[in-house]
Amino acid sequence: MELAVYNTKGEKTARTVTLSESIYNIEPNDHAIYLDTKQYLANQRQGTHSSKEKSTVSGSTRKLKKQKGTGGARAGSIKSPLLRGGARVFGPHPRDYGFKLNQKLKQLARLSALSYKAKNNNIVVIEDLTYDKPKTKNFVELLENLKLSGKKTLMVLSESDKALYLSSRNLSRARVIRACDLNTYEIIRANNLIILEGSVAEIEKTFQN
């Protein structure tokens, strides 16, 4: 699969890049994408929520009223979940929401997500760039030149670039990520992938190991 390389002005250059068929043109597996995305979102949960049960609520242990003769139900504790200020029944406690997935399945999910992007022509390859200093205006101008303004975009770098990252940080619909950190959730969340020319080889290196 060949794609033209664009410059920062949104114009085609004379260069092209060849995307690996084994990465960008496989038969997508929707269930693998679902499982990998579910695991990613589960791992983002802190799991620090907590509630008090009857044994942990503070309060008197005195019996509220006599057992018989009142005409009402028996009541033995002010900490009962039925009473205001009482305990909670089966409430949440701190826990880890993460679960295990095989590496081969996670790999399949990421390749499937990339294949969907390639199939739908949602991948743009641009020449390598960097900024001398962070400037959001420059990043916005790049998106406008590529006709991706207002769309959710994910820019893939071959290595960390602090200036590029900071330039995109204030944009809610733009993300910058290294090729080695690509994950299924970020790929499917974006409408378009912007891949730097030098990142193509890095992506292949990451996913063909």
- Per-residue pLDDT tens digits for 51-78: 999 889 998 889 989 999 999 999 889 9
Ramachandran bin of 204, using left for φ above 0, alpha for ψ from -120 to 50, beta for the remaining angles: alpha
Q: Which residues contact 70 (CB under 8 A, 6 or more apart)?
A: none
pTM: 0.83
Residue 209 has pLDDT above 80, yes or no: no
CATH class of the 2-46+98-207 domain in this structure: alpha beta
Query: 41-52: per-residue pLDDT in tens?
Result: 999 999 999 999
Domain with CATH 3.40.1370.10 in the chain: 2-46+98-207
Query: 125-171: per-residue pLDDT in tens?
Result: 999 998 999 999 999 999 999 999 889 999 999 888 899 999 999 99
Q: In what order do the strands lie in the sheet with 123-126?
A: 12-18, 2-6, 123-126, 192-196, 153-157, 174-178
